[in-house]
Amino acid sequence: MSWPADRSRSSGILLHPTSLPGPFGIGDLGPQAHVWVDTMARAGQAWWQVLPVGPTGYGDSPYQSPSTFAGNLNLISPELLAADGLAAQGDLDGCLLVSGGPVHYADVISRKRRLVRRAWERFRAGEGPESVRAEFARFRAEEAAWLDEFALFMAIKDEHGGRAWWEWPAPLAAHDDRAVRAAAGQLADEIDAHRFGQFLFFRQWSSLRAHAHANGVRIIGDLPIYVAADSADVWGRPDLFLLDADRRPRFVAGVPPDYFSATGQLWGNPIYDWDAHRADGFRWWVDRVRAALRLFDLIRLDHFRGIEGFWAVRFGAPTAVEGEWLPGPGAALLAALRDALGDVPIIAEDLGVITPEVDALREQFGLPGMGILQFAFGGAVEPRFLPHRFTRDVVVYTGTHDNDTTAGWAAKLTADERRSYARYAPTSTEDPVGTLIRLGWASGADLVLAPLQDFLGLGSEARMNIPGTTTGNWVWRVDDRALSNPIWSNSLREFTDVYERRGERPVSNPATKSR
C-alpha cells in the first residue's frame, strides 16, 4: 500500500448519497446521483467522498452495520428498477415521501424493503430483461463467500421480528449446524430475496461508479474499523472477536474523552481477537478490504489509531471514561494487506489521541493522514493543522462528517479564536467559511476536500453527525434548489482552477490479486 508519488493536485466533495434530494425520502443511486456526478465534474472536482454504504444499524448509523460486506438497500433507486422492468408505477408510488427535509428512516426502510420484495417477486415470475438473470447468477457465485451467510442471517432476523441474534432461540444464536440448515430450508425464498436485494444494490452502484469514472470522478469510501455486535460477521465468526461463553462481548470499542465528547465515545462494537486474526494471516481483513476495493477507488480507514492500539471498555460500562489502551495488530495487519492485495490506496484517519507510534506506523507504510482546518483555529486548537504545515501527503478537510459545518463552527468561535483566525487569514472576518475553504485549496496538500454543506454556507442545522450521541444523526438532505444553483459550483470551479487542482485523472485503485 502507498500514496502514489505521481499523484496530481486535486480536490473533491464529501456528500453521502442519502443526503441527495429526490422524491423517495432519502437520496439513492438513481438519476439524482448521476446528476450529482455531472455537477461535480462541471465544478472541476476529481473526488467524491461518501460514508460507509453498508446497511445501517443502531441509531441509523452507517458505522453500525449488520454486515461489513453488504450494501444498503435504502440506496436502491425505484426509478432504475422500473427501467429494468422490475418495478411498476404503483411500486414507485409506494415509495413516495416528502421530497425535502431530513431522512425519516422508519418510513424509508419499510418502503424500500417492500420495493425490493416486489422486485424479487417479479424477477422470480420471469419479468425483467434476460440479461439480468445471467448477471444475478454470476453475482451469486462470485459473492457466495459472504452473501449466503448474510442472506441467511437477515432472513432469520426477519423471522424473529428483527431481534438481535443473541435473542434468537439458543441453537440459532449459537449457529448450531442442524438449526441453521433447518432455517435455511424453511426460509429459502426469503434468503433468495435478500440475495437479490444485494444484487440490485451492487448493480446500481456499479452503474453509478462507471458514470463517475467516465466523467473523471473517483470515489473515496469509508471503511469502519469495527463491525456491529448484531451482525452476520459476529454471528458467523465469533472466533474472531473477544466474546464470553455466552457470545456476548467482553470488551467494547470507543475512545477516551477528547475534543468531541467529555465522556469519550462509547461505540459498543465488539473488540477483535487479534491473535485469532494473526493465526490465519488476517484473511477476514484481506477479504474485507478486497471487497471495499470493488466499491471505491480510495479507502478512508476509519480510526486508524486503533490499528496501533485501541481503547477497550468493559461491556456494560455506562461511558467510555473507564477503559484501557490495548495493543493492536500494527504492522502485521498492514503487511498482510499489502502482501495479499498490493498497493492498496488508503487514507489513514489519524484523528484523536495520536502517539508517535501511530505516526510511525502510518509513515512506515506510506499512508497519508488527515488534516482538519477547523481544528487549527477553533475548538480543539492543534497547530499541526495550520495550513502552512501541510505536506503533500496530508489529505486536508475543512471538517469531516463528525464536525459541525464550517458556518456552524465559525458562529461558535470565541473572541480569542476569531482574533487568531483573523490574524492568520484577514478575510475570515467577512467570510469565515469561504476563507477556510480557500486555505485548504491553496495549501500544499495534494488532495483537499470539504463537505457540500460548506460550499452552500449552511449552518449547524445541516450537520451530519454529533459524536457521542445516538439520535438525530445521519438525516440531513440537501435542498434540490440549492444543489442545482450554479453559483456555488461555478465559484468552486474558479478557485479550483486558481489553485491548480484540476490535474490529471485521479489515480484509480490498482488491480488486486486474486484469492
Q: Active-site residue numbers?
A: 302, 349, 402
Q: Which residues pair with 397 in a beta bridge?
A: 372, 449
Burial class (CB in 10 A: 0-12, 13-18, 19+), 115: buried
Q: Nine-digit cell at 59?
A: 441509531
Query: What is the rounded distance in angstroms from the CA atom of residue 353 to the CA atom of residue 368?
Result: 17
Query: What is the rounded distance in angstroms from the CA atom of residue 193 to the CA atom of residue 199?
Result: 10
**Helices (H), strands (E): how many in the chain?**
22, 12
406 contact partners, CB below 8 Å, separation of at least 6: 374, 398, 399, 432, 433, 436, 437, 450, 453, 454
Query: What is the rounded distance in angstroms from the CA atom of residue 282 to the CA atom of residue 92?
Result: 43
Contact by Cβ (8 Å): 38, 159: no
Query: What is the rounded distance in angstroms from the CA atom of residue 451 to the CA atom of residue 401?
Result: 8
What count of other Cβ atoms lies within 10 Å of the Cβ of residue 346? 24
Question: Buried b vs exposed e over 180-195: b needs ≥16 C-beta within 10 Å?
Answer: beebeeebeebbbbbb
Q: Nine-digit cell at 142?
A: 462470485
Q: DSSP of 45-97, one letter per residue?
A: --EEE----SPP-GGG-TTS-S-SS---GGG--HHHHHHTTS--HHHHHTT--
Burial class (CB in 10 A: 0-12, 13-18, 19+), 247: middle
The SS3 of residue 218 is strand
What angle is formed at CA 230 by the lines to CA 229 and CA 231, rounded to 5 degrees? Answer: 95
Q: What is the DSSP letter of 24?
A: T
Chain centroid, CA 33 distance in Å: 16
Task: Please report which helix (H) or strand (E) contains residue 415, including its range.
Answer: helix 415-424
Q: What sign for the dihedral angle of Cα 444, 389, 370, 457?
A: negative
The SS3 of residue 447 is strand
What count of other Cβ atoms lies within 10 Å of the Cβ of residue 432? 23
Chain centroid, CA 355 distance in Å: 25
Q: What share of the chain is helix, strand, coil (3-state, %, to 5)?
A: 45, 10, 40
What count of other Cβ atoms lies within 10 Å of the Cβ of residue 429? 12
